[in-house]
Amino acid sequence: MNRETFLHTLSQALSSLSAAERDEILQDYASYFADALADGQSETDVATKLGDPVKLARELIAQRRLGAWESRRSPKNLWALCAATAGLGFMNLALAIPILCYLALLTVLSVVGGSLALVGLVLVVLATSQGLFGWPAPNQFVLNTSGIGPVVIDGSVSSQTPQIHIQGAGPNENVRVEHAADGSVAIQASEGSKTFSLEKSADGSIKKIDIRDGDRQVELSHLRHSGPKTHAVVGLVFLTLGGLLLWLCRSWFGKLLTWLRSHLGQQLKHIQGLAA
Amino acid sequence: MNLALKTQLRKGAIEMCVLAILKRADSYTYELVQQLSAHMAISEGTVYPLMRRLQDEGWVQTYQQESATGPARKYYRLSASGIDAVTMMTQEWQEFVAEINSVLQPQPTSPIQKDAL
């Protein structure tokens, strides 16, 4: 292999680096050749002593990837580093994949933690605002803990006076509305063995929903209306949980980074200090 | 086995050797390789990645200087932290060698014991 072939092969193998990085490396090896030739060595001898340019390029790329990842710890840089190290044969992809899964898990956990903390913060601020300034009105935002739909729903819509209008086509269809003395309302609609009943308390919140069809029945009772206190408590719990999760992720991520840095750094030191 | 041990030792010591050469005088890659290979077996191609790593550590700085033979050469010089690093490494190395030597060639410490033998 002569000088030109060596530099050309090296340049090709370094194609994944930026042009500036590649040029710097090529210039260094070109000047090494110049010095060696001036010293009376043959091109072939120098190329042989320098070793396989493809292998050399792999080491140089891995080194750059390590540097890039140390200056900016993004999953993209980590992936590039794992791929480069795998190319060296020191870390196979079988090891890189669990690391990336772990990383993905940590990312998901931090997103969950962040969301919890954010919702908690919003609830605490809301409750504080309700307690101090009376805004927003208790029914304007309702915490939906059913797990279905949005966490916070606009309660002012459902707290409006309901307009119930049922037309019965048969003799067994009827609707009964009972107003109690304390201001609560009970509504019952039935058709044969099917009944639907609903109880509303005086403040407009729904206390109980009951649906029956023969012996089948669904009853939702003790429906609580969430007020500022609930908001504050739930908010604080969310904030604490979210914060804890974020802190845990940070610490686990830190441990992963420390391990990777020492593991990969060691491997790179090994190859760089390697004797012929 | 012997060869493997020597290779391992060389891997650990090559950084220190490069820093020690640069402590005496600034140098460029080819000259460094010549000085190293005069005394020990090294893979010439890996000297550039090694120099890069020493730069990343902040131990070595580079500058361009005109050469008699051709275009400007990249010279390496030790930084202040590089001088500290090589001083510490050299000291640790000498302590290490002394420890190993004292195990390999135990000196009779007690003359009484010697007489008894």
Q: Does B5 touch chain A (CB under 8 A)?
A: no
When comparing pLDDT for A59 and A137, which is higher?
A59
Contact B50 A275 (CB under 8 A): no
Q: What is the pLDDT of residue B85?
A: 93
Q: What is the pLDDT of residue A90?
A: 59
Which residues of chain B make contact with A269, given a CB cutoff of 8 A?
11, 53
**Rounded distance between C-alpha atoms, residue A142 and residue A253, angstroms:** 36
**Smallest CA–CA separation between B37 and chain A, in Å?**
10
**A250 has pLDDT over 50:** yes
Q: What is the pLDDT of residue A235?
A: 87
Contact A31 B42 (CB under 8 A): no
Lowest mean pLDDT among A82-86, A89-93, A214-218, A241-245: A89-93
When comparing pLDDT for B2 and B42, which is higher?
B42
Q: Does A272 touch chain B (CB under 8 A)?
A: yes
Q: Does A63 touch chain B (CB under 8 A)?
A: yes
Query: What integer best gives the mean pLDDT of chain B?
Result: 84
**Smallest CA–CA separation between A25 and chain B, in Å?**
8
H helices of chain A, where? 3-13, 19-38, 43-50, 53-71, 75-88, 93-133, 155-158, 228-272
Give tens-digit pLDDT for A175-212: 777 777 777 788 888 877 788 888 877 766 777 888 88
CATH class of B2-104: mainly alpha
Hey, what are A139's tokens?
């029914």
Q: Which of residues 14-53 of A touch B (CB under 8 A)?
A: 25, 27-29, 31-32, 34-36, 38-39, 49-53
Hey, what are B69's tokens?
């033979």
**Rounded distance between C-alpha atoms, residue A109 and residue A261, angstroms:** 23
**A77 has pLDDT over 60:** yes
ipTM over 0.95: no
When comparing pLDDT for A170 and B78, which is higher?
B78
Domain spans of chain B? Answer: 2-104
Map residue A187 onto helix, strand or coil.
strand
Average pLDDT of A73-88? Answer: 76
**Rounded distance between C-alpha atoms, residue B110 and residue A228, angstroms:** 85
Q: What is the pLDDT of residue A70?
A: 76
When comparing pLDDT for B76 and A83, which is higher?
B76
**Rounded distance between C-alpha atoms, residue A84 and residue A69, angstroms:** 12
Q: What is the pLDDT of residue A158?
A: 47
When comparing pLDDT for B49 and B80, which is higher?
B80
Contact B43 A34 (CB under 8 A): no
Nearest to B69 among A34, A50, A67 (CB): A34
**B113 has pLDDT over 90:** no
Which residues of chain B make contact with A272, given a CB cutoff of 8 A?
46, 49-50, 53
The model's pTM is 0.55
Q: What is the pLDDT of residue A199?
A: 84
Q: What is the pLDDT of residue B92?
A: 93
Give tens-digit pLDDT for A32-55: 998 899 889 899 999 998 888 988
Nearest to A275 among B15, B28, B41 (CB): B41
What is the percent of chain A where pLDDT is above 90? 15
Q: Does B2 touch chain A (CB under 8 A)?
A: no
**B34 has pLDDT over 70:** yes
Q: Which of residues 95-114 of B touch A (CB under 8 A)?
A: none
**A138 has pLDDT over 60:** no
